[in-house]
């Protein structure tokens, strides 16, 4: 017994000196020392797990900008949507392309859709392009089978045709934070001739201005 206590080992231990800053220490460990060391390792592992959990929930705030900074992302930079690229404000809403094709561009962000209200003609295929400025959001066009996922750093595209005129609410269907349940936009589907009688500025959005 005496012999055992007398035998000491030098053991390298990684501990967290500050909240999340790991550093290493050499320990002279007897039998008691090893028990203390095991506790320290357990504590360090617990902190590492918590840090990992926090990082994973903050992926879109920390990981994604970092990913873009390193040149990994090909999609739009969620932090710079209003500055450059196809999602600058003047380019949002419904826009007519060549040969009368119609594209709607939208941004989803906590806790609104931009534009909040969009207007499209009935019976015409409409190309939707949407991205997110922060978390993942899910648009569903209430009363239809159509839905669109808005993912930061990615453009989701889909073609929808709304056969009849009407007003469709667009609630967010993916939990995205405290204001999730209040996050909703609107889609106004109008007869084709009514849509074409609108001035170009009025076709972009049905938001009052």
Residue 172 sits in the site that holds ligand CUA (CB under 6 A): yes
Q: Estimate the share of the chain in helix, then strand, then coil, as percent rounded to the nearest 5.
A: 30, 35, 35
By beta-carbon proximity to ligand CUA, the closer residue of 150 and 206 is 150
- Give the nearest distance from C-beta 76 to ligand CUA in angstroms: 18
- Give the nearest distance from C-beta 20 to ligand CUA in angstroms: 30
Binding test (CB under 6 A) with ligand CUA, winner from 65, 180, 188, 198: 180
What residues contact residue 202 under an 8 Å CB cut-off, 6+ apart? 119
What residues contact residue 80 under an 8 Å CB cut-off, 6+ apart? none
By beta-carbon proximity to ligand CUA, the closer residue of 132 and 205 is 132
What residues contact residue 20 under an 8 Å CB cut-off, 6+ apart? 47, 51
Which pairs with CB-CB distance under 8 Å and at least 24 residues apart come from 70-79? 73/153, 75/131, 75/153, 75/154, 75/155, 76/131, 76/153, 76/155, 77/153, 78/131, 78/132, 78/133, 78/134, 78/152, 78/153, 79/133
- Give the nearest distance from C-beta 133 to ligand CUA in angstroms: 11
By beta-carbon proximity to ligand CUA, the closer residue of 105 and 137 is 137
Binding test (CB under 6 A) with ligand CUA, winner from 176, 189, 190, 206: 176
E strand intervals along 7-101: 9-16, 22-29, 93-96
Span near ligand CUA by CB under 6 A; candidates 15-23, 69-77, 89-97, 171-179: 171-179
Residue 169 sits in the site that holds ligand CUA (CB under 6 A): no
**Binders of ligand CUA: how many residues, by CB under 6 A?**
7
Residue 43 sits in the site that holds ligand CUA (CB under 6 A): no
156-161 and 125-132 strand pairing? antiparallel
Binding test (CB under 6 A) with ligand CUA, winner from 43, 59, 69, 175: 175
- Contacts with ligand CUA by CB under 6 A lie at 137, 172, 174-176, 180, 183
């Amino acid at each position: 017994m005496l012999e055992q206590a007398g035998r000491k080992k030098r053991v390298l231990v990684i501990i967290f000196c500050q909240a999340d800053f790991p550093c290493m220490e050499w320990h002279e460990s007897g039998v008691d020392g090893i028990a203390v060391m095991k506790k320290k390792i357990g504590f360090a592992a617990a902190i590492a797990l918590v840090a990992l959990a926090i990082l994973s929930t903050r992926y879109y705030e920390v990981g994604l900008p970092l990913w873009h900074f390193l040149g990994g992302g090909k999609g739009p930079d969620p932090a710079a949507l209003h500055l450059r690229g196809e999602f600058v404000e003047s380019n949002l809403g419904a826009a007519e392309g060549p040969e009368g094709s119609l594209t709607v561009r939208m941004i989803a962000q906590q806790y609104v859709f931009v534009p909040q209200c969009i207007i499209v003609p009935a019976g015409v295929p409409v190309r939707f392009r949407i991205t997110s400025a922060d978390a993942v959001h899910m648009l569903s066009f209430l009363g239809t089978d159509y839905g669109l996922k808005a993912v930061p750093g990615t453009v989701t595209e889909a073609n929808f045709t709304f056969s009849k005129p009407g007003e469709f609410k667009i609630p967010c269907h993916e939990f995205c934070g405290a204001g999730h349940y209040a996050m909703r936009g609107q889609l106004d589907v109008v007869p084709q001739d009514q849509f074409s009688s609108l001035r170009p500025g009025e076709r972009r959005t049905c938001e009052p201005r």
